[in-house]
Amino acid sequence: MCGLGTVGMASMALSVGIVGLPNVGKSTVFNALTAGKAEASNYPFCTIDPNVGIIPVPDARLQRIEKHIPTKKIIPAIVEIVDIAGLVKGASQGEGLGNKFLANIRETNALLLMVRCFDDPNVIHVAGTVDPMRDIEIIEIELVLADAETAEKRLKKAQGAAKAGGKETKVELALAEKVVAHLNAGNPARTLDLSDDDKKAIMLWGFMTVKPVLYVCNVGEGDLPDGNKYSELVKKRAAAENAGCTVLCGKVEAELAELPPGDRDELLASYNLKEPALATLARECYRLLGLQSFFTAGEMEIRAWTIKKGTLAPAAAGVIHTDLEQKFARAKVYSVDDLDEFGSEVAIKNAGKLRFEGKEYVVQEGDVIHFL
């Protein structure tokens, strides 16, 4: 297989931020995801600086490849996850950690909006009662207000540029006016009906509510695996927004993360779970960012490489090593299904299933590739 060197996408700052009110279980879930050491606390602002962790994306195809290509190590795809300090009402005006909190969100590419969906008198709720829909509204309002301020600044800049004339400046002014009106009406930027070009444009304007969202319902142990009345409300909201929604129990996930595989399976079975919810969450993070994997496989390692959907073969090669992109000639490609069916690359070739693709080839999810 090709040599390894300067890695591109695998080390890019593609990250998901865990956001929510204080005491909803963010740090507990972050710890379970990353096996890290963030301190869970019963007090607001326990995570003052965002903790950053790298989580593997579970992918059974790696083990399927290994059955046919024995290797020394397996390296899964990864997602960067950021545990951001709890938001409070008034954050857009500087309450709580204010601007620092908002700046941390701006640096992420997508949001896991964690909502408390459990009753526990021993865990203080910052608003006094458990109400997931209210909590979501508090977070969204604060982000919309902060985005509206950003949009107003962008509008003033566009107005000044438009006075000098030019078609492009007038187009940007019209877009800025549309965005300001939408945000001032209390709507997140991601719900604005825009052309693909306009969507790409506002992605660069620093808005938080333009980021894709995955709702995470943190329920009690007795509410697994399906959730409860609180999580059902969140699911309905997510469905209306065409957003994802995952149900988990932070306490159970934290316990699972500490156990060896055999004991883990036993605990999962006791809650009627097939796998830790955090495995699903990791895959959802990957999907949320619009990412996909291709594989390289050899005696030294089998590895999942991360690319954006729609990536051409030369750029995918550049993820492995910059030289591979510059010197790209062609790519030898087959699928994991082909490997399962025929058992080896030689057999795949003899069956006429091995493909040679050029510079215009769009890499597909799950391709096994050897770059030449």
| Phi, psi values for residue 248, rounded to 5° | -150, 170
Q: Encoding tokens for residue 167?
A: 């078609």
| Phi, psi values for residue 285, rounded to 5° | -60, -45
- In this prediction, residues 36-57 reach a mean pLDDT of 56
| Phi, psi values for residue 161, rounded to 5° | -70, -35
Angle at 190 between CA 187 and CA 194, to 5 degrees: 105
Question: Are 143 and 188 spatial neighbours (Cβ–Cβ below 8 Å)?
Answer: yes
Pseudo-torsion of CA 323, 324, 328, 331, nearest 10°?
Answer: 170
The string of DSSP codes covering 156-219 is HHHHHHHHT--HHHHHHHHHHHHHHHHHHTT--GGGS---HHHHHHHTTTT-STTS-EEEEEE-
pLDDT in tens, 272-323: 999 998 888 888 888 888 899 999 999 999 999 999 999 999 999 999 999 9
Work out the number of other CB atoms within 10 angstroms of the CB of residue 29.
Answer: 30
Topology of 310-371 in CATH? Ubiquitin-like (UB roll) (3.10.20)
Topology of 9-288 in CATH? Rossmann fold (3.40.50)
**Residue 99 — very low, low, confident or very high, per pLDDT cuts 50/70/90?**
low
Task: Please provide the size of the chain in residues.
Answer: 372
Work out the number of other CB atoms within 10 angstroms of the CB of residue 278.
Answer: 22
Q: At what angle do helices 277-288 and 26-34 cross, to 10 degrees?
A: 90
- In this prediction, residues 119-133 reach a mean pLDDT of 87
Distance (Å, rounded) from C-alpha 96 to C-alpha 93?
9
- In this prediction, residues 256-274 reach a mean pLDDT of 91
Question: Are 81 and 56 spatial neighbours (Cβ–Cβ below 8 Å)?
Answer: no
Q: What is the pLDDT of residue 9?
A: 39
Of all helices (H) and strands (E), which one includes residue 245? strand 244-248
Q: What is the pLDDT of residue 42?
A: 41
Q: Among candidates 17, 174, 177, 141, which has minimal Cα distance to 83?
A: 17
Point out the least confidently predicted range of 49-58, 63-72, 196-205.
49-58
pLDDT above 50 for 334: yes
Q: What is the pLDDT of residue 44?
A: 37
Q: What is the pLDDT of residue 89?
A: 65
Q: What is the pLDDT of residue 346?
A: 96
Domain ranges within the chain, ordered by starting residue? 9-288, 310-371
Question: Are 173 and 199 spatial neighbours (Cβ–Cβ below 8 Å)?
Answer: no
Q: Encoding tokens for residue 135?
A: 């909590």
Q: Which residue has the higher pLDDT, 183 or 97?
A: 183
Radius of gyration of the chain (CA): 23
Question: Are 9 and 319 spatial neighbours (Cβ–Cβ below 8 Å)?
Answer: yes
Distance (Å, rounded) from C-alpha 73 to C-alpha 308?
24
Judging by beta carbons within 10 Å of its beta carbon (0-12, 13-18, 19+), is residue 193 exposed, middle or buried?
exposed
Q: What is the pLDDT of residue 125?
A: 80
Which of helix, strand or coil describes residue 129? coil
Q: What is the pLDDT of residue 79?
A: 87
pLDDT above 90 for 1: no
pLDDT above 90 for 165: no
pLDDT above 90 for 168: no
